[in-house]
Structure 1
Amino acid sequence: MENDDRVDEYLKRIEVNRPKDVSDEEYLAQLHVGHLTHIPFETFDLIDIKQLNIEQDQIFRKLVQEKRGGVCCEMNGLFAFILQNFNYKIELIPCGVYATETESYSDLYTHIAMRITTKNGTKYLCDVGFSMDPLTPLYFQTDCVQYALNGFYQIIKSEDQLYYQLRNGCLKNKNDQFSLTSSSLETSIVDIDPERIAWRMSYRFPIDFDQKTLTLDDYKFKCPSIVHSPDIILNHQSICHIHTYQPTVGAYSLNGKKYSEWIFEDGHAIRKSAPSSIDDKEVEKLLQEKFNLNIERKIELVDSLI
């Protein structure tokens, strides 16, 4: 009964009803979009109070009851808990994040993603904790191009065949256009030349990740590093990011003291407003109006300390 109550609280938080007359796949997409458009990715606790607690009770209290956001292990930890209550099969995936500056990947366990299997056996890559998430779940298929409403995504194998790599992108040419005939809430496998797309790497994970069953507890050893390591940007720059779906697919984003808005349209990411500096007086109002956050303590935005 306790889990039923928690599920209902979560569904109220993301404004999604219990499943009715929809397939497992459709409902998974509803939950994925609902989470990303109501619970922001945010790093504030890692910066000013140096705290990351991934006990399930604490994650639920923070993200649902206190109406906060979180980082990957909090966001995907909560999502996995909810999906288990709807009888989806969940496999947690240890990931290493790609750093453009060094053109290298971080250690595994610095990010968590999930492979979700529905009752009919369809497998998806789901991630509600990366900020640059696909808006809808990706099919767990390699070497095809997928369109997840907010851009193109592709799961490819590394040259050494040891890793899956996730990359995302938008059309290179601003005059190039791409449109879908379907307007449904789902990812589409599309027939498009990958060379038309400006790709950027997101993260990688071992091809044999499913040889070991992982739980959220297996990620606890990494929490001190996520909070304190100078190599992890999450603990030394204010980041807050939330997706939008209706009336437009887009995003609101804070990076340091810079705020910007985006829309995704015809295969392009279009900056709706140029980055603008936010002073301390504007923070509380901005977090409430754009990110659904009402944080009791004072939040001071921090540009990268490194």
Structure 2
Amino acid sequence: MSGLNALFRQRIGMPENEKITFAALDLVLELTAKSIPFENFSIIEQRASAITEDNLVCKLLVNKEGGLCYELNALLYFFLIDNSFHAVLTRGVVYNNDAQAYLTIGRTHATILLAHEDQTYLVDTGFGGNLPLTPVPLTGETVTSRNGAFRARKAHSEHGDYVLEMKLKHKDNDWRIGYAFDSGKPVGDVAELNEIQTIIAEHPDSPFNKHSLITRHTAQGSVTLTDTSLTQWTDGAVAKEKIDGGRFKELLKKHFSR
């Protein structure tokens, strides 16, 4: 077993001797969403490192930080490959539902496509509070998890040939687009993800280079901390608290052990 495989299992609480089957991926995704937060601290603090397997292991597994999509899904991709799955990374364009338009900063979402028994599935652990928590087949079929309902359907556009759509539990009454992606343009090398990181860190329209953000799933819902607020979803009920800098550090330690 590789060092990444062992450390990943240790981080999410998966036994080292347990075989990771396709049926076990729901559990892997659930444990990962609870254990490794979606966060932008390295961007805000201007200490981002090149996207390599070794750097991801150091940051996410040894130092036990979180990361953004291109880090979280790259790490999961390596874990899946280590466990004999056939997977590739691909890039997508996130949709802003408030503006009813795709983000103008380009293909800055990294996700995973996994092949299993002549079917292709989207697997994503890097989409913040919008995680499917289960593989989503590229057939348009609706799948459900405790986080809501999800589907990946064909939708040819300049942004790709598929879209991921969702109806989050307790939050969405209608389907909404998460992002478009191209099933025919896999990432050839994780080094390509450095382009995403540069855009996220430097582009004036990047949603992640202005304010601190960290979020993870919990057994009852989710917890999200920014430099101005704490938001907790618990069994469908939401509680939001405005905070200051001192409170931020206190809550970061309480909810994220940092």
Residues 243-278 of structure 1 deviation map (CA, whole Å, 9 limit, x = unaligned): 123xx3x111124411111135xxxxx2332x1112
Q: How does 1:11-22 map to 2 (within 5 A)?
A: 11-18=9-16, 20=18
Greater radius of gyration (CA): 1
| Structure 1 residue 240 corresponds to structure 2 residue 205 | no
Shift of 1:127: 0.7
Shift of 1:170: 4.0
User: Secondary structure of 1:59's partner?
Assistant: helix
Cα distance in 1 for partners of 2:142, 2:107 equals: 26
Structure 2 residue corresponding to 1:197, chosen from 163, 173, 189:
173
User: Secondary structure of 1:233's partner?
Assistant: coil
Cα distance in 2 for partners of 1:171, 1:66 equals: 32
Residues 139-190 of structure 1 deviation map (CA, whole Å, 9 limit, x = unaligned): 3133332212111112223265952111212478x9xxxxxxxxxxxxxxxx
Cα distance in 2 for partners of 1:95, 1:52 equals: 22
Deviates more, 1:255-264 or 1:72-81: 255-264
Q: How does 1:87-166 map to 2 (within 5 A)?
A: 87-106=84-103, 107-118=105-116, 120-158=117-155, 163-166=161-164
Q: Which runs of 5+ in 2 are unaligned?
A: none
Shift of 1:125: 1.1
CA contact (8 A) 1:171 1:198 kept: no
The AA in structure 1 aligned to 2:22 is: E
User: Secondary structure of 1:198's partner?
Assistant: coil
What residue is the counterpart of 1:281 in the other structure? 246
Cα distance in 2 for partners of 1:211, 1:160 equals: 14
CA contact (8 A) 2:147 2:169 kept: no
What residue is the counterpart of 1:46 in the other structure? 43
More strand as a share of residues:
2
What residue is the counterpart of 2:238 in the other structure? 272
What residue is the counterpart of 1:69 in the other structure? 66
In the alignment of these two chains, the number of paired residues is: 256
Q: 1:75 to 1:154 in 2, by over 3 A?
A: same
Cα distance in 2 for partners of 1:115, 1:94 equals: 10
CA contact (8 A) 2:136 2:150 kept: no
Identical columns (%): 23
Q: Which runs of 5+ in 1 are unaligned?
A: 175-195, 265-269, 295-306
CA contact (8 A) 1:46 1:52 kept: no
User: Secondary structure of 2:27's partner?
Assistant: helix
Cα distance in 1 for partners of 2:17, 2:255 equals: 28
| Structure 1 residue 260 corresponds to structure 2 residue 226 | no
TM-score for the superposition, normalised by structure 1:
0.75
User: Secondary structure of 1:234's partner?
Assistant: coil
The AA in structure 2 aligned to 1:153 is: F
TM-score for the superposition, normalised by structure 2:
0.88
